[in-house]
Chain A
Amino acid sequence: MNNTYFWRPAAALWHRDVARFLRQRNRIISALVTPLVFWVLLGAGFGPSFRPSGGETIPYLTYFFPGTLVLIMLFTAIFSTISVIEDRREGFLQGVLVAPVSPGAIVLGKFLGGTTLAAGQALLFCVMAPFAGVTFPPHLLPALAASFLLVGFSMTGLGFLVAWPMDSTQGFHAIMNVVLMPMWMVSGSLFPLPVGHSVVGWIGKLNPVTYGVSAIRQSLGGPAVAGMPSLGHSLLVTLGFCAVTYAASYRLVSLRRKVA
């Protein structure tokens, strides 16, 4: 990987994404506020006595905390990757595509931008942890950092795969509602996945987002939920998911470099 045409362009695209995001405050706020409202309202609705099957009784605010973090990352990654569509329409992308930049640099720059923003927003939301009764066990902090980065990276990857072939942001919103939101819902974020053989259980097992939620839940020292994969297993699957979305995005950019 050549420094001139790979790392420098990737770093520039990464930096640009962050600079752009910080200048658009409304995007920061909207990516945080919707999940926050979900968390508060659902937490209030289910109350303090939520009992995942086979587990102890915990407040729903506590149960839902990792899922909210993943939702924040999903929203932030979506806002970050939707700019691919705007860039294509407004012309910025054509300037990138006629430059001697490797497809991998375009993908990596975007992924790192999305990851930084998603993980940063998740970190910001951690100020709510005391209200969820979440403490941060020090020995799990490296695992938490890894979970944030890997989940942010894979969410950005998902968003990128949807955004790159799209010509309109409406199309993106449709996919988001039909595919991305259900993936988040059936991941153990909103409710514990049923144990044993059931359709929802299997969907959950096959859903890569499940492993991201599980990694974060365990890194926060959350109470065990029946049927949850181990922390190492969760991190490994999430890492694999990152690799798959990166490889698929690389392929997509190599194939369809054209503008509009």
Chain B
Amino acid sequence: MGAVSTKRLVKKYGSHTVLRGLDLEVVAGEMFALLGPNGSGKTTLFRILATLISPDGGSARVGGSDVVREPASVRAKIGVVFQSPSLDKKLTAHENLRYGGALYGMHGIPLRQRISELASSLRLEEKLDALVETLSGGQQRRVEIAKCLLARPEILLLDEPSTGLDPSARMDLWALVGNLRSSHGMTVVFTSHLMDESARADRVGILSEGSLVCVESPADLLAAAGPEVLRVATTDVPGVAGFLRAKCGLDPHSLEGEVRVSASEAHSVAARLAAEMPSAIASTTISKPTLEDVFLFKTGKRLDE
């Protein structure tokens, strides 16, 4: 059974359609990344899965329960880490965890044990009695994560989990998520606009304008982008793109001051380009494709737009 499954999911805000009949299947135990730029609908999808908003069409099931008809049983199965923290800054970390656990019906010694267990695996023991407002961004995020793991959710939903984290805190976060998966077989679904983060997933779903453009493993996505990517920095974007299309039979993507194309023999393409249009070319770069290239080739748009 799928841990998360949506069918023709639609969400509109006024006349603006944010999700356009989105179909998604996440397998139990899988780590799944929803990759897309701002405005692609990933946070809207996330909120529907977390039972915070209702879809206008289609259906969504999380852990086998319908998010609209059985929200309470969905809520009992999920742990949610929001982009903006859900901690009470006027309380201590420990109080936040205690009240957080009580919301899931936890209490007494089992709750206290669970808090100290998570505090030690998240290196928060020293900070439990500090007011949350005195903690750093990374520490707050760790408290937040501890809070949503208290009740041992089957499915962990993370919205842009590394926002506001420094690189070392980011590494810690992903190491922890990896541990949880291997020890509890937890399903993890996270949204991201970062490529290196998405590459950690078993599968990546690329979201653009409210639809899933493709769902594949990071390796398959990269393989589909071809062996090499040629980036041409130029003052004449239409000219270079036209040349690549007409003379080399390639499918170039035009960007601001740059043309990017997937090519199997990028060196010879670069050499022909330099010979034919020497004055228009500022530089050429050849590299292995990245997930960012994949995103561009699949959607025609840059991820950071």
Contact mask for chain A residues 3-28; partner B; CB cutoff 8 A; 1 contact, 0 none: 11100110111011001100110000
Q: Shortest Cβ distance from A83 into chain B, in angstroms? A: 9
Q: Does A92 lie at the interface of the complex (its beta carbon under 8 Å from any beta carbon of B)?
A: yes
A98 partner, pick from B80, B85, B89, B90, beta carbons under 8 A: B80
Contact mask for chain A residues 83-99; partner B; CB cutoff 8 A; 1 contact, 0 none: 00001001111111111
Report the Cα distance A12→B102, complex, angstroms. 6
- Are B103 and A99 in contact, with the CB atoms below 8 A? yes
Q: Does B231 lie at the interface of the complex (its beta carbon under 8 Å from any beta carbon of A)?
A: no
Report the Cα distance A8→B89, complex, angstroms. 22
- Are B107 and A8 in contact, with the CB atoms below 8 A? yes
CB-defined contacts of A251 to chain B, threshold 8 Å: none
- Are A98 and B52 in contact, with the CB atoms below 8 A? yes
Report the Cα distance A99→B103, complex, angstroms. 6
Report the Cα distance A243→B80, complex, angstroms. 34
CB-defined contacts of B75 to chain A, threshold 8 Å: 98-101
- Are B86 and A94 in contact, with the CB atoms below 8 A? yes
- Are A20 and B91 in contact, with the CB atoms below 8 A? yes
- Are B52 and A12 in contact, with the CB atoms below 8 A? no
- Are B88 and A9 in contact, with the CB atoms below 8 A? no
- Are B88 and A12 in contact, with the CB atoms below 8 A? no
A8 partner, pick from B51, B52, B102, beta carbons under 8 A: B102
Q: Shortest Cβ distance from B211 into chain A, in angstroms? A: 23
Chain A binding surface, main DSSP class: helix
Q: Shortest Cβ distance from A88 into chain B, in angstroms? A: 11
CB-defined contacts of B89 to chain A, threshold 8 Å: 90
Q: Does B98 lie at the interface of the complex (its beta carbon under 8 Å from any beta carbon of A)?
A: yes
Q: Does B104 lie at the interface of the complex (its beta carbon under 8 Å from any beta carbon of A)?
A: yes
- Are A15 and B99 in contact, with the CB atoms below 8 A? yes
Report the Cα distance A20→B99, complex, angstroms. 12
- Are B78 and A98 in contact, with the CB atoms below 8 A? yes
Q: Does A205 lie at the interface of the complex (its beta carbon under 8 Å from any beta carbon of B)?
A: no
- Are B51 and A16 in contact, with the CB atoms below 8 A? no
- Are B50 and A19 in contact, with the CB atoms below 8 A? no
- Are A94 and B82 in contact, with the CB atoms below 8 A? yes
- Are A19 and B102 in contact, with the CB atoms below 8 A? no
Name the residue on A nearest B103 (C-beta): A99
CB-defined contacts of B52 to chain A, threshold 8 Å: 94, 97-98, 257-259
Contact mask for chain B residues 45-61; partner A; CB cutoff 8 A; 1 contact, 0 none: 00100111100000000
CB-defined contacts of B147 to chain A, threshold 8 Å: 95
A12-B103 contact, Cβ under 8 Å, with A20-B90, A100-B75: yes
CB-defined contacts of A9 to chain B, threshold 8 Å: 102-103, 105
Q: Shortest Cβ distance from B10 into chain A, in angstroms? A: 17
CB-defined contacts of B72 to chain A, threshold 8 Å: 5, 100, 102
CB-defined contacts of A5 to chain B, threshold 8 Å: 72, 105
Report the Cα distance A12→B107, complex, angstroms. 10
Chain B CB within 10 Å, residue with most, of A4, A9, A24, A95: A95
CB-defined contacts of B90 to chain A, threshold 8 Å: 20, 23-24
Which residues from 211 to 260 on chain A have a C-beta closer than 8 Å to any C-beta of chain B? 257-259
Q: Shortest Cβ distance from B148 into chain A, in angstroms? A: 8
Q: Does B216 lie at the interface of the complex (its beta carbon under 8 Å from any beta carbon of A)?
A: no
Report the Cα distance A92→B89, complex, angstroms. 9
Q: Shortest Cβ distance from A79 into chain B, in angstroms? A: 13
Q: Does B285 lie at the interface of the complex (its beta carbon under 8 Å from any beta carbon of A)?
A: no
The residues of A with any CB-CB pair to B shorter than 8 Å are 3-5, 8-9, 11-13, 15-16, 19-20, 23-24, 87, 90-102, 257-259
Known: A16-B95, A90-B89, A101-B103. 19 other contacts (CB 8 A): A5-B72, A5-B105, A8-B102, A9-B102, A12-B99, A12-B102, A19-B91, A90-B84, A91-B85, A93-B86, A94-B84, A95-B86, A96-B103, A100-B75, A100-B104, A100-B105, A101-B75, A102-B72, A257-B51
What are 12 A-to-B residue pairs whose CB atoms are below 8 Å?
A8-B107, A23-B91, A94-B52, A94-B84, A95-B87, A95-B148, A97-B51, A98-B52, A100-B73, A100-B75, A100-B76, A102-B72
